[in-house]
């Protein structure tokens, strides 16, 4: 059984008061994600990536289509059932501050799911110990416990978001451009942290990005989206090869590749972003 399966998902938005205008954000998308797998979702701005990610968790109601989470028909769930299943499916947003309560200290933000007893009740002392453990796991310092989000850097806040998510212990995460708002130097750290956590916690991920280097680094398979549709799904290696061969129909990738022999894409694919234990793509 797939961890996630989406069948013919569609989303139309209607706008305009006098003349109704229908925007097709997602135009019949089907895919699956196996347990422990990361599916990358790449495509140009506005092609519908975020809409797909949010529909999977029913943060946006699909116009039509089906979503299965471990065989459970997500579309058929009522509010109570949805609330019960929500902790198992989480989302990491581009802007970490939007997932943290500005009036809550970082330690309390991380402790909240533990206090709510999402994974069984913990005592006060145990909760604090677990929060400290999570703070360490994501590479924060104990001193961050008493800080507010506005007293942290973007990278630190994204680490705090990850710690909170680990406290929730989800099975499936939609990561929507989780490093796009961060400094380049911090991006790699956060991506590597997500990779590490994914392996250790056996997470399943939908990883959304418009950056093909990042997608290659993170994904087992890559789905290429264009104008509301998935036009191709490839194993990451084939995606990498395709990017290099510039065969893909994704214009941004083509442009990157064609922008000269020393192009950033070529360098990074062959070097920095190469996964440990794999050969560089020729
Ligand atoms: N609430 C809304 N009302 C009307 N149209 C919307 C709404 N949300 C998104 N859209 C439209 O749906 C399309 C897909 O948007 P979406 O946010 O899913 O794109 P995206 O691929 O995530 O883009 P980006 O890479 O810029 O984040 C866009 O054309 C967008 O303008
Ligand atoms: Mg988006």
CA 147, distance to chain mean position in Å, is: 26
Encode pLDDT of 56-93 as tens digits: 999 999 999 999 999 999 999 999 999 999 999 999 99
Index of the ligand 1 atom closest to the CA of residue 225: 21
CA 42, distance to chain mean position in Å, is: 11
Return the SS3 of 174.
Answer: strand
Encode pLDDT of 20-62 as tens digits: 788 999 999 999 999 999 999 999 999 999 999 999 999 999 9
Which numbered ligand comes closest to the C-alpha of 48? 1
> What CATH number should be reported for the domain holding residue 97?
3.40.50.300
Nearest residue (by CA) to ligand 1, atom 29, is 46
Nearest residue (by CA) to ligand 1, atom 14, is 48
- Flag whether 233 is in a domain: yes
Structure tokens given for 43: 């495509």
Interval between CA 41 and ligand 2 midpoint (Å):
10
- Flag whether 32 is in a domain: yes
Whose tokens are 């989470």? That residue is: 69
Query: Following CA atoms 181, 217, 171, 125 in sequence, which dihedral angle do they give, to the nearest 10 degrees?
Result: -60
Index of the ligand 1 atom closest to the CA of residue 15: 4
According to DSSP, the β-strands at 172-176 and 89-92 are parallel
- Flag whether 279 is in a domain: no
Encode pLDDT of 248-263 as tens digits: 555 555 555 445 444 4
- Flag whether 275 is in a domain: no
Please tell me the predicted confidence (pLDDT) of residue 271.
40
Measured CA distances, 103 to 90, 106, 134 (Å):
22, 9, 20
Q: If residue 238 lies in a helix (H) or strand (E), which one and from where to where?
A: helix 236-245
Query: Following CA atoms 124, 125, 126, 127 in sequence, which dihedral angle do they give, to the nearest 10 degrees?
Result: 50
Encode pLDDT of 182-214 as tens digits: 888 888 889 999 998 898 889 999 999 988 888
Interval between CA 176 and ligand 2 midpoint (Å):
7
The closest of 38, 30, 42, 164 to 92, measured between CA atoms, is 164
Interval between CA 142 and ligand 2 midpoint (Å):
33
Instruction: Please tell me the distance from the alpha carbon of residue 144 to that of residue 230, in angstroms, as a whole number.
Output: 41
CB 205 within 8 A of CB 229: no
**Model confidence band, residue 245 (pLDDT cutoffs 50, 70, 90):** confident
Instruction: Please tell me the distance from the alpha carbon of residue 39 to that of residue 233, in angstroms, as a whole number.
Output: 9
- Flag whether 276 is in a domain: no
Domain that holds residue 196: 4-270
**φ and ψ of 123, to 5 deg:** -70, 170
Within 6 Å (CB) of ligand 1, which residues are found?
Answer: 13, 15, 23, 25, 43, 45-51, 210
Q: Based on the structure, what is the number of domains in the chain?
A: 1
- Flag whether 125 is in a domain: yes
Q: If residue 50 lies in a helix (H) or strand (E), which one and from where to where?
A: helix 49-56
Index of the ligand 1 atom closest to the CA of residue 44: 25
Return the best residue to mutate from 23, 98, 224 for the ligand 1 pocket (most ligand atoms within 8 A of CB): 23
Measured CA distances, 132 to 100, 125, 253 (Å):
17, 11, 42
Whose tokens are 């190469």? That residue is: 274
Structure tokens given for 134: 């999570």
Contacts of 46 (CB under 8 A, 6+ apart): none
Return the best residue to mutate from 43, 44, 51 for the ligand 1 pocket (most ligand atoms within 8 A of CB): 51
- Flag whether 178 is in a domain: yes
Interval between CA 84 and ligand 2 midpoint (Å):
26
Over 70: is that where the pLDDT of 272 sits? no
Index of the ligand 1 atom closest to the CA of residue 94: 27
Which numbered ligand comes closest to the C-alpha of 45? 1
- Flag whether 282 is in a domain: no
């Amino acid at each position: 059984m797939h961890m996630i399966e989406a069948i013919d998902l569609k989303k139309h938005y209607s706008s305009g008061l006098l003349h109704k205008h229908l925007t097709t954000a997602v135009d019949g998308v089907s895919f699956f994600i196996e347990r422990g797998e990361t599916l990358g979702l790449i495509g140009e701005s506005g092609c519908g990536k975020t809409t797909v990610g949010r529909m999977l968790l029913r943060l946006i109601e699909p116009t039509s289509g089906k979503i299965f989470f471990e065989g459970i028909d997500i579309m058929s769930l009522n509010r109570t059932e949805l609330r019960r299943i929500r902790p198992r499916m989480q989302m990491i947003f581009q802007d970490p501050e939007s997932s943290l309560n500005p009036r809550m200290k970082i330690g309390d933000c991380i402790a909240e799911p533990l206090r709510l007893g999402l994974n069984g009740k913990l005592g006060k002392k145990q909760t604090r110990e677990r929060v400290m453990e999570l703070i360490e796991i994501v590479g924060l310092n104990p001193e961050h416990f008493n800080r507010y989000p506005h007293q942290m850097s973007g990278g630190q806040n994204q680490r705090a978001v990850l710690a909170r998510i680990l406290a929730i212990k989800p099975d499936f995460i939609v990561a929507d451009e989780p490093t796009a708002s961060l400094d380049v130097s911090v991006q790699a750290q956060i991506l590597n942290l997500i990779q590490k956590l994914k392996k250790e916690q056996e997470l399943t991920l939908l990883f959304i990005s418009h950056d093909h280097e990042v997608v290659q680094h993170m994904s087992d398979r890559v789905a290429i989206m264009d104008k509301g549709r998935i036009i191709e799904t490839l194993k990451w290696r084939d995606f990498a090869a395709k990017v290099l061969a510039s065969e893909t129909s994704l214009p941004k990738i083509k442009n990157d590749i064609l922008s000269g022999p020393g192009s950033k894409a070529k360098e990074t694919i062959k070097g920095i972003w190469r996964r440990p234990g794999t050969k560089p793509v020729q």
